[in-house]
Structure 1
């Protein structure tokens, strides 16, 4: 018999079994200790609904002819007339031109910006505008104009030649600037817009009312743009005193934005009117394109636009948010402790009838147990481009996990 065989016969099977049991128990104990001391999983929060709808229904009567749309600087497009085919927009195109100038060369209120010296090419553009009877701003070779003055010449007397001058300054050439305009339109979701020039004189520059709300919404974020389009007049070196061709400025609460009119385009007007809600100022934006009435195309667009603003303005106000039927949501733990969530005070939002208000809940890191009324989560309410966040409290006590849950989780 070999030594290995003798050793095997000498081992007691019962001792081996006991040893295995002991090792198994030790293993379980180690696993239990590890699990017991492992971090507690994060608490989760669920919402009762995807959004809350403000009471009522938004109402607006758009003009019978022409195409129209309404929105705000923070909510985007809210409503529009049925026919939204691309149409010529005339000088309304200069909203995009000014927007791109201020994106490339930002100004702060009170700043004049860089100075540009007018060239023979700029003078030729002015002479061409005279020949074609386009809106224009007088310039002479060697004249120096600041960025601010050029924007005033673009947006107040609506100088077509200034649109071309600014476009070449931003992009290097007319063609490069037009490409930039169209790329920007695409990035803003302006799917029915095509720019063929910087001024809108080209009838191939087309858009619709919905798209013009989108570019106006973007442009109105800039305080200098808002400041200039609200100016009734300005004094420039060679031209002297120039006046804003927006005849509605200061009426019906209108503080901008841009008019446009040609035989092909008819009367076009994109307007802005402020609505104050506490310490906040919002801007209603209305667009009317292609208004055509005998000898009063532009006037008809201005009047139709003002009627839209007057109708919708009272509908923009502060609302107290009514929670969903089952409350805003619940907080739950992996060990099956849960509680409904509440807010300590009513939530006020600025909006309009029928607007959808989205919200989401984020749980906080809390010390357990958490008595009722503890700040255990935050509620973020989103309305357009603005949001507010408030604390949420539990309505039921949230206990820590028990001994056996920690061991056997």
Structure 2
């Protein structure tokens, strides 16, 4: 039996609405699948491990007290011997120089004001000579610049010049001493006390750790750093003066101050430069209570060699080194790699902490910044950008059309 008119009309409606549904679906589905943004992809991050370095093995002096530090590193890297404060002898003169420069500032290359010596200064010299203190000649009416007086005090360790300089800068010993102890407190040298400016008094005491901090302050002042690193100099009236530090120029040593006193023994506040991985490291150390300066110098050289061996350059990243991988649902892969080489100089077995931050990405070009890896060592942070090692391409129309669940 042929279909009725009603059946034919019904079939036509179904066909029309079906076609309309296909058209409407196509109109919406195709743009949504072909143009829809791709969801971000998380990276599989590779754990970062930095090779541990060996601990320091330092040969400390068997007598007295000692400590070493380095500019830009922790306050001290290590200590040996007694911990209590001990007499510091002529290392006191470094304090005197810094305290005088606070009252009478000088810049490198400046001579400063003239200082005229009097009969009182002659008497000061006579008093120190009477107790076998180191002195340099002085006459009434002699005139030297502030810088020249400081040179004689620090290089030749002349006690009479230290007292004359302090008196000139502060008016009297009664005014200099409290000013000096206030300066020590202000700079955090809480285990250091002085009662006069030369070091002849055993009441001038400090710890080796405090002296390391003092040495860093001395090197931070351009004038003091220049003086203590000078081997010889011509001075009016006196002629050529020489630095009392016989280690100057040996093993990179560039100062700072010797000291000798019955109650203190042989003492040395020293600084030495050496290069690790292209970076100059300045060691500052102090040794108190040596038997004599010959033995003390040998001890310091051994200690410096041990300290140098305990510094290491540690490679952190190499440009192109992989720190993880992105893998997309459509099969693209791209490593996230270090954008540059990086390294750090560390002391002995100082730990290095790491933290990696990585962004989720979609379609992206090779070289796109995708995060960073941060290394922290002794309070210093080194951050290296991470970038894509390859382009992550769009998957194309066919994948989009056949994987709608991945898009919505």
TM-score greater than 0.5 by the shorter chain:
yes
Unaligned ranges ≥5, structure 1: 1-47, 329-339, 398-409
CA shift, 1:265, in A, is 0.8
| Counterpart check, 1:392 vs 2:357 | no
Give yes or no for the alignment of 1:256 onto 2:251. Answer: no
Change (3 A) 1:291 1:395: same
Q: CA deviation digits over 1:228-279, x for unaligned, max 9?
A: 1122222222222222211222223322111111111111111111113566
Relative distance call for 1:99 and 1:381 in structure 2 (3 A) is farther
TM-aligned CA distance change 1:362 to 1:265, over 3 Å: farther
Q: Is the 8 A contact 1:321 1:346 kept in 2?
A: yes
Change over 3 Å in CA distance of 1:362–1:184 after alignment to 2: farther
Give the unaligned 5+ runs of structure 2. Answer: 1-46, 324-334, 392-408
1:98 to partner: Cα distance? 1.8
Q: Indicate how the Cα distance of structure 1 residues 67 and 373 shifts in structure 2: closer, same or farther if over 3 A, else same.
A: same
Give, in whole Å, the separation in 1 of the partners of 2:202 and 2:157.
Answer: 17
How far is 1:74 from its partner? 2.4
2:297 is aligned to: 302
- CA offsets, 1:181-205, max 9 Å, x none? 2222223332321111111111110
- For the Cα contact (< 8 Å) 2:317–2:338, is it kept in 1? no
CA–CA separation in structure 1 for the residues paired with 2:125 and 2:349: 49
In structure 2, the residue matched to 1:143 is: 142
Q: How far 1:348 moved relative to its partner? A: 1.8
SS in 2 for 1:128: helix
Q: Is the 8 A contact 1:54 1:321 kept in 2?
A: no
Partner of 2:11: none
Partner of residue 212, structure 2 = 213
Aligned mates of 1:175, 1:380 — CA distance in 2 = 53
Structure 2 counterparts to residues 342-361 of structure 1, below 5 A: 343-356=338-351
- Find the aligned partners of 2:194 and 2:352 in 1 and give their Cα distance: 35
With the length of structure 2 as denominator, give the TM-score of the two structures: 0.69
Cα gap change, 1:54 to 1:145, in 2 (>3 Å): farther
Secondary structure at the counterpart of residue 91 of structure 1:
helix
* Contact 1:372/1:393, CA 8 A, preserved across alignment: no
Distance 1:113 1:300, change over 3 A: same
Provide closer, same or farther for how the CA distance between residues 298 and 82 of structure 1 changes in structure 2, counting only shifts above 3 A.
Answer: closer
CA distance in structure 2 between the aligned counterparts of 1:264 and 1:278, rounded to whole angstroms: 42
Give the drift of 1:374: 4.8
**Aligned twin of 2:176:** 177
Cα distance in 2 for residues equivalent to 1:147 and 1:383: 43
Structure 2 counterpart of 1:127: 126
Deviation at 1:87, TM superposition (A): 0.9
Flag the structure with larger Rg.
2
Correspondence for 1:37: none
Gap change, CA 1:55 and 1:88, over 3 Å in 2: same
User: What is the Cα deviation at residue 96 of structure 1?
Assistant: 1.3
Report the Cα distance in structure 2 between the residues aligned to 1:219 and 1:62, rounded to whole angstroms: 24
Residues 10-49 of structure 1: matches in 2 within 5 Å? none
Question: More deviation in 185-194 or 82-91?
Answer: 185-194
Specify whether residues 138 and 343 from structure 1 end up closer, same or farther in structure 2 by C-alpha distance, changes over 3 A only.
farther
Runs of 4+ off more than 4 Å? 277-280, 340-343, 356-363, 368-385, 387-391, 393-397
SS at match of 2:275: strand
Give the 3-state SS of the residue equivalent to 1:110 in structure 2. Answer: coil
Mapping of 1:195-274 within 5 angstroms?
195-274=194-273
Q: 1:100 to 1:355 in 2, by over 3 A?
A: farther
Out of 74, 80, 104, which is 2:72 matched to? 74
1:371: how far off? 7.5
Q: Distance in 2 between matches of 1:73 and 1:192?
A: 20
1:361 deviates by: 10
TM-score normalised over the length of structure 1: 0.69
The Cα of 1:89 is off from its aligned counterpart by 0.9
Residue 153 of structure 1, CA deviation: 0.5
For 1:312, the equivalent position in structure 2 comes to 307
Cα deviation 1:3-43 (Å, max 9, x = unaligned)? xxxxxxxxxxxxxxxxxxxxxxxxxxxxxxxxxxxxxxxxx
Q: Which moved more, 1:199-208 or 1:178-187?
A: 178-187
Distance in 2 of aligned mates of 1:124 and 1:173:
15
Compute the RMSD of aligned alpha carbons: 3.7
8 Å CA contact retained: 2:340, 2:384: no
1:392: Cα distance to partner?
Answer: 2.9
Q: Which residue pairs with 1:161 in the alignment?
A: 160
Give 1:271-350 correspondences, 5 Å limit: 271-277=270-276, 280-292=279-291, 297-321=292-316, 343-350=338-345
| Residue 90 (structure 1) aligns with | 89
Query: Which residue of the partner structure matches residue 40 of structure 1?
Result: none
Aligned to 2:35: none
Size of the aligned set, in residue pairs, is: 329
